[in-house]
Amino acid sequence: MRLVIIGAGFAGMYAALSSARLRDIQGVSPEDLEIALVSPEPTLVVRPRLYEPKPETLTAPLLDVLNAIDVVYVQGSAETVDTKSRTVQIVTAKGTRKTLPYDRLVVATGSRLFRPNVPGLAEHGFSVDQLDDAIALDRHLHNLAAQPPSKARDTVVVAGGGFTGIEAATEIPTRLRAILGKDAEPRVIIVDRNDAIAPDMGAGPRPVIEDALRKCGVETQLGAGVASLDKSGVTLSNGVHIECATVIWAAGIRAAPLTAQIPAERDNFGRLLVDRDLRVTSVAGVFATGDAARAACDDVGNYALMSCQHATRMGAFAGNNAAAELLGVPTKPYHQKAYVTCLDLGEAGALFTRGWERKVEIVGEQAKKTKQEINTVWIYPPRPERAAALASADPERVTDL
Ligand SMILES: Cc1cc2nc3c(=O)[nH]c(=O)nc-3n(C[C@H](O)[C@H](O)[C@H](O)COP(=O)(O)OP(=O)(O)OC[C@H]3O[C@@H](n4cnc5c(N)ncnc54)[C@H](O)[C@@H]3O)c2cc1C
């Protein structure tokens, strides 16, 4: 029997760990149940940190962990999935193809920035979405130092005032001063179509965010979108033109394209609809998890967000349940009651909220310490030591905050 997991993000990593854990508990050998993880690189890209400087350092090796738990790593991208013949076609970076049959499939392909058809965005827009994007932005920021000082050089527009846009924007003043010199006066402007910053955060935490933006010197242009980009800067939907050398697009994400190949219902973000076991109900043998799936977290109407916090735990349940079906043991319905947010606010510290109503719990420097711990410890892979790695993936305990 073979269980194939596509994607080595937070969800895919925990799907691999938890399926291997259940196999171990059931005393089944890796020969009788092969678990294979397909991804372009055997590394975890620590996406929640990609707004930071030195993005090239923001990956963690996975091969040793996978070896320690007898999960087979298959290098490449899943190009096509045929759910009738239960096969995945994989293509390597060099273009060679191979077909991998599966008995159960876990789709953990994550998400990607949604780039709308805004004129000039493809040529002039940067982002902090994928590793390559963050590296390209960092390189561009360093190249600004070679340009003569000007208002445009020192101005950064961030399109999107949600979590990612705010984290990217509040970090930029420090990043630019480190590159351009401490006397530089970077101007950072968040542009958002909504009339309020952080529209998903609600009214409670908003004053903390607004205060932090003021402290970091980040301006906002609300109620207007970016209509076009060119070499000189951006033009907003209200006609205002902002001269700037840097535009960071952070205005929404969608499930990665592979989900479209699964013949099943998807939501507006392209996420596959799944049942409580994270099974794609209409397609035999397929589970979906993390940012690739729309799953209920509880019985009172809360759904998993496209977040690391949900992806990690959903991954542990999906892997466990896909393996459970093959091993003939009961599955465990996914549930995730606790929900917190920890938003980095640059030099103004951070903001920690608890619950779906986002009650402010910690702010400033204290919240920053929590953010740093989340970003440098909690979200990294377990040590490549078999017993500890398997133990870390008990679905009931993963991200139980
Ligand atoms: C700048 C930024 C800040 C963020 N901050 C936070 C935060 O503070 N808190 C939080 O909870 N979340 C945060 N997030 C969101 C979080 O990073 C995502 O929700 C999380 O990464 C989702 O995990 P995942 O495993 O589902 O997908 P991903 O992490 O996107 O991983 C998907 C994996 O699938 C692979 N893949 C995709 N397609 C294929 C294919 N066809 N074949 C093989 N492999 C494939 C990719 O290479 C990747 O390895 C942030 C994201 C960004 C970009």
Distance CA 389, CA 367 (A): 28
What burial letters (b/e) apply to 370-380, b meaning 16+ CB within 10 Å?
A: bbeebbeeebe
Distance CA 216, CA 220 (A): 12
- Tell whether 6 and 54 lie within a shared domain: yes
Total number of domains constituting the chain: 2
Which helix or strand (DSSP H or E) is residue 231 part of?
A: none
- Tell whether 205 and 122 lie within a shared domain: yes
Per-residue pLDDT of the chain (401 residues; tens, 9 = 90+): 999 999 999 999 999 999 999 999 999 999 999 999 999 999 999 999 999 999 999 999 999 999 999 999 999 999 999 999 999 999 999 999 999 999 999 999 999 999 999 999 999 999 999 999 999 999 999 999 999 999 999 999 999 999 999 999 999 999 999 999 988 999 999 999 999 999 888 889 999 999 999 999 999 999 999 999 999 999 999 999 999 999 999 999 999 999 999 999 999 999 999 999 999 999 999 999 999 999 999 999 999 999 999 999 999 999 999 999 999 999 999 999 999 999 999 999 999 999 999 999 999 999 999 999 999 999 999 999 999 999 999 999 998 76
Q: Which of 307, 340, 371, 377 to mutate to test the pocket of ligand 1 (most atoms within 8 A of CB)?
A: 307
Q: Does a structural domain hold residue 370?
A: no
Q: Does a structural domain hold residue 228?
A: yes
> Which CATH number does the domain housing residue 10 bear?
3.50.50.60
Q: Does a structural domain hold residue 177?
A: yes
- Tell whether 213 and 95 lie within a shared domain: no
- Tell whether 156 and 266 lie within a shared domain: no
Distance CA 170, CA 133 (A): 18
Ligand 1 pocket, residue 38 CB under 6 Å: yes
- Tell whether 101 and 193 lie within a shared domain: no
User: Which domain-ending residue is among 185, 215, 249?
Assistant: 249
Q: Does a structural domain hold residue 369?
A: no
- Tell whether 60 and 98 lie within a shared domain: yes
Q: Which domain holds residue 270?
A: 2-112+253-339
- Tell whether 135 and 12 lie within a shared domain: no
0.75 exceeded by the pTM? Answer: yes
Q: Does a structural domain hold residue 85?
A: yes
Ligand 1 mean position, distance from CA 297 (Å): 19
Q: The tokens of 9 are what?
A: 């993000």
Ligand 1 mean position, distance from CA 301 (Å): 24
pLDDT at residue number 399: 83
- Tell whether 64 and 138 lie within a shared domain: no
- Tell whether 327 and 299 lie within a shared domain: yes
Ligand 1 mean position, distance from CA 351 (Å): 22
pLDDT at residue number 290: 98
Ligand 1 pocket, residue 9 CB under 6 Å: yes
User: Which domain-ending residue is among 249, 274, 304?
Assistant: 249
